[in-house]
Amino acid sequence: MINVLKRIKMKKITLKLFLITSTILLGFAFIIYLSLYFFLPTFYNQYKTNQIQTGIEELINDSRDLNLRNAIPLIDDFARKNNAMIYLQNGEGYIIYSPLLSFFEGSSTTPPNVKLDKTTPFGDSNHPVNSYEVTTPIQFQDVTLDLIVSVNFPPIDEASEVLILFLPYISIIVIIIGVGSAYLYSRFITRPLIYINQGAQKMADLDFSEKIEVHSNDELEELSNSLNNLSFNLQQSMLDLKKVNQALKTDIEKERELEKKRRDFFVIVAHELKTPLTVMKGHIEGMLYRIGPYKDRDAYLQKNFQTIREMEQLVREILSMSKLEQHTFKLRIDEVNLAELINSVTNSLNFFASEKNIQIIKQIESPIFVNTDRVLLEKALKNIIHNAIMYTPQNQNVCITLSHSYNQNNVHIRVMNTGVEIKEEDLKHLFEPFYRIEKSRNRNTGGSGLGLYIVKQIFNTLSIRYSLKNTEKGVEFMFIIPLTKK
pLDDT tens-place string over residues 39-81: 777 787 888 888 889 989 998 998 888 898 888 988 888 888 8
CA distances from 344 to 235, 379, 481 (A): 58, 12, 18
pLDDT at 15 over 60: yes
Whether 398 shows a pLDDT value over 90: the answer reads yes
Q: In angstroms, rounded to a whole number, what is the distance separating the alpha carbons of residues 100 and 76?
A: 9
244 found inside a domain = no
Nearest to 462 by CA among 408, 381, 342, 388: 381
Amino acid, res. 225: N
The yes-or-no verdict on residue 159 having pLDDT over 70 is no
Interval 193-217 mean pLDDT:
71
User: Which residue, 69, 6, 38, 251, is CA-closest to 157?
Assistant: 38
> What DSSP element (H or E) covers 95?
strand 95-98
Q: Which residues, including other chains, have CB under 8 Å from residue 339's CB and lie 6 or more apart?
A: 364, 365, 366, 367, 368, 402
DSSP string, 33-60: HHHHHHHHHHHHHHHHHHHHHHHHHHHH
CATH number at residue 387: 3.30.565.10
- Asked if the structure places residue 224 within a domain, the reply is no
CA distance 44 to 160: 12
Domain's final residue, options 119, 135, 154: 154
- Range of 401's domain? 330-482
Q: What is the pLDDT of residue 415?
A: 93
CA dihedral 48→52→53→58, nearest 10 degrees, is 140
413 falls within a domain = yes
Q: Is the pLDDT of residue 127 over 50?
A: no
- What does the pLDDT look like over 297-310, one tens digit per residue? 777 778 778 778 77
Per the CB < 8 A criterion, the answer to whether 79 and 151 are in contact is no
Among the candidates 101, 125, 154, a domain finishes at 154
Alpha-helical segments (H) within 356-393: 374-390
Confidence band (pLDDT; 50, 70, 90) for 405? confident
Q: What is the mean pLDDT of the chain?
A: 77
State the pLDDT at residue 477.
92
In a domain, 55, yes or no: no
* Distance in angstroms (rounded) separating the CA atoms of residues 259 and 399: 38
**Domain for residue 266, yes or no?**
no
Q: Residue 447 — very low, low, confident or very high, per pLDDT cuts 50/70/90?
A: low
* Closest alpha carbon to 37 in 158, 139, 201: 158
Q: Which of 421, 396, 410, 403 is nearest to 476 (CA)?
A: 421
293 pLDDT above the threshold of 50: yes
Tell me what pLDDT residue 121 has. Answer: 46
Give the model's pLDDT for residue 158: 64
Q: Which residue has the higher pLDDT, 121 or 115?
A: 115
pLDDT at 97: 86
| Structural domain total, the chain | 2
**HSE-up (13 A, CA, CB side) for residue 144:** 4
Stretch (H or E) spanning 228: helix 219-288
* Mean pLDDT, range 84-97, rounded to an integer: 87
Last residue of a domain, one of 100, 135, 154: 154
Over range 393-415, report the average pLDDT. Answer: 87
Residue type for position 181: S
How many Cα atoms within 13 Å fall on the side-chain side of residue 95? 24
Q: Which of 180, 219, 220 is nearest to 18 (CA)?
A: 180
Distance CA 230, CA 209 (A): 13
d(CA 258, CA 325): 10
Residue predicted with more confidence, 201 or 469: 469
pLDDT of residue 404: 83
To the nearest 10°, report the CA torsion of 59, 61, 62, 63.
Answer: 80
pLDDT of residue 111: 45
Q: What is the CA radius of gyration of the chain?
A: 61
DSSP state of 369: E
Give the residue from 241, 192, 230 showing the smallest Cα distance to 213.
Answer: 192
**Does residue 28 carry a pLDDT above 80?**
no
- Is residue 102 predicted with pLDDT exceeding 60? no
pLDDT-based confidence at residue 119 (cuts at 50, 70, 90): very low
Q: Positive or negative, the Cα torsion across 202, 203, 207, 213?
A: positive
Per-residue pLDDT band for 106 (boundaries 50, 70, 90) equals very low
Could you tell me how many helices (H) and strands (E) the chain has, helices first?
11, 12
Output the pLDDT for position 286: 79
Which of 199-213, 302-316, 318-332, 454-468 ranks highest by mean pLDDT?
454-468
Round to whole Å and give the CA distance between 136 and 80: 19
